[in-house]
């Protein structure tokens, strides 16, 4: 089954995990920690290894955030999960809020006291989000602390392995343009803007730019990775080399260089004096924090517009996909019409 409806959360594990985290925060002299649903790649769907919010709160929805303080804890979810969240977390520990009515930063500002220090993992939050938290806390006389290591991760002893699925080709007949063509077009815009590099932190942009796919997370076929596009059109891709075979490398074309993700920090520091563009709304704050000697240019995602402007080949493929989906839906409705009257179907069974 493509979608799994099993609930593997356990409210019994929440209390000891929160207790351990609070002990770690005490050793770090922190008064709280912000735990988002998003991971380093800022996506809605995350692999099991990055389900930090679920680990600490038990809540397994696709959107949410928690803030754990020494004596208080809050879980923020949207309207879809107002009924689900209380069933999955320990409501003696976590107060649950509708995020549309009470924003996490709003609750935090009302909770902190002057002199408090709140921790945040800059790998998990965009620069825009970090600024919002920092400003809110500063107004209350408190301070946001960007952490080198996440104390939650240090306590997660049975953490699953990160996904390592093979990268596969998205054929040019579906993409419409080769990766080299896309990279050269973006590189021309970079030169005109005076940018030496473009930092790409969203895996969906890399999937589009390189015409590749993978299966690292549910529902979104991309490879969790980062990249740097050079103004000459070459691309430094931070992903395990074994995931990208010779056929895929040939498909991507010339100018591709593969690196381990652990080598990215050294690469960023080697860009001293260069101009690096990035979108602060979808790039983790960690990157800017580790490029102090780089000329940083904050821009609107340069991949967004060309990715949205569909090539005729993409439109043709989209129409074909809709036709296939339509036929599948007709088959389902025919089956449903035949079986629903028996009174034995449930929503999950039908799905």
Residue-wise pLDDT for 198-247, tens only, equals 999 999 999 999 999 999 998 899 999 999 999 999 999 999 999 999 99
Quick one: 98 and 19 in the same domain? yes
Band (pLDDT 50/70/90 cuts) for residue 196 is very high
Within a domain: residue 94? yes
User: Is the pLDDT score of 3 beyond 50?
Assistant: no
* Domain of 25, in residue numbers: 11-155
Domains in the chain: how many in total? Answer: 3
Quick one: 173 and 302 in the same domain? yes
Ranges of H-type helices in the chain: 14-27, 52-57, 84-88, 104-111, 127-139, 151-155, 172-175, 179-193, 203-210, 246-252, 264-269, 285-289, 304-308, 312-339, 347-350
pTM of the predicted protein model: 0.91
pLDDT at position 76:
98
Within a domain: residue 177? yes
pLDDT at position 6:
59
pLDDT at position 55:
97
Band (pLDDT 50/70/90 cuts) for residue 154 is very high
SS3 assignment, position 73: strand
Q: Which one is predicted more confidently, 6 or 92?
A: 92
Quick one: 273 and 316 in the same domain? no
What DSSP string describes 317-337? HHHHHHHHHHHHHHHHHHHHH
Quick one: 329 and 256 in the same domain? no
pLDDT in tens, 247-279: 999 999 999 999 999 999 999 999 999 999 999
CATH number for position 304: 3.40.350.10
Quick one: 57 and 180 in the same domain? no
Quick one: 147 and 233 in the same domain? no
pLDDT at position 1:
32
What's CA 142's distance to the chain center, in Å? 28
As a whole-number percent, the residues of the chain with pLDDT over 70 amount to: 97
Within a domain: residue 6? no
pLDDT at position 5:
54
User: Is the pLDDT score of 351 beyond 80?
Assistant: no
Quick one: 303 and 321 in the same domain? no
Ranges of H-type helices in 34-168: 52-57, 84-88, 104-111, 127-139, 151-155
Q: Which one is predicted more confidently, 315 or 349?
A: 315
Enumerate residues 6+ apart whose C-beta is below 8 A from 257.
234, 235, 236, 237
Quick one: 67 and 84 in the same domain? yes
Mean pLDDT of the chain: 94
Q: Taken in order 119, 122, 126, 127, is the CA torsion positive or negative?
A: positive
Quick one: 184 and 288 in the same domain? yes
Q: Could you tell me if 152 and 55 are in contact, meaning their C-beta atoms sit under 8 angstroms apart? A: yes
Closest CA to 85 of 69, 97, 100: 97
């Amino acid at each position: 089954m493509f979608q799994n409806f099993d609930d593997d959360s356990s409210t019994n594990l929440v209390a000891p995990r929160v207790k351990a985290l609070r002990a770690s925060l005490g050793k770090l002299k922190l008064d709280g920690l912000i735990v988002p649903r998003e991971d380093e790649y800022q996506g809605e769907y995350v692999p099991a290894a990055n389900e930090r919010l679920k680990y600490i709160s038990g809540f397994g929805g696709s959107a949410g955030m928690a803030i754990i303080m020494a004596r208080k804890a809050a879980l923020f979810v949207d309207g879809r999960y107002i009924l689900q969240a209380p069933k999955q977390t320990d409501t003696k520990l976590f107060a649950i809020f509708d995020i549309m009515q009470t924003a996490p930063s709003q609750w935090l500002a009302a909770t902190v006291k002057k002199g408090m220090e709140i921790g945040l993992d800059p790998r998990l939050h965009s620069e825009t989000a970090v600024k919002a938290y920092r400003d809110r806390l500063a107004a209350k006389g408190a301070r946001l602390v960007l952490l080198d290591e996440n104390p939650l991760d240090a306590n997660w002893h049975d953490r699953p392995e990160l996904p390592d699925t093979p990268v596969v080709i998205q054929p040019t007949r579906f993409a419409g343009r080769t990766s080299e063509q896309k990279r050269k077009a973006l590189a021309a815009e970079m030169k005109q803007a005076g940018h030496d590099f473009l930092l790409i932190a969203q895996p969906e942009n890399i999937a589009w730019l390189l015409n590749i796919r993978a299966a690292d997370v549910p529902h979104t076929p991309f490879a969790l990775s980062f990249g740097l596009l050079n103004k000459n059109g070459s691309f430094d891709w931070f992903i395990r080399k074994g995931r990208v075979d010779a056929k895929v490398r040939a498909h991507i074309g010339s100018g591709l260089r593969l690196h381990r993700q652990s080598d990215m920090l050294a690469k960023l520091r080697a860009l001293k004096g260069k101009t690096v563009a990035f979108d602060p709304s979808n790039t983790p704050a960690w990157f800017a924090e580790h490029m102090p000697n780089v000329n940083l240019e904050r821009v609107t995602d340069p991949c967004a517009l060309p990715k949205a402007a569909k090539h005729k080949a993409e439109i043709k493929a989209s129409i074909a996909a809709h036709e296939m989906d339509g036929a599948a839906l007709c088959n389902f409705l025919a089956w449903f019409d035949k079986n629903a009257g028996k009174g034995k179907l449930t929503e999950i069974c039908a799905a």
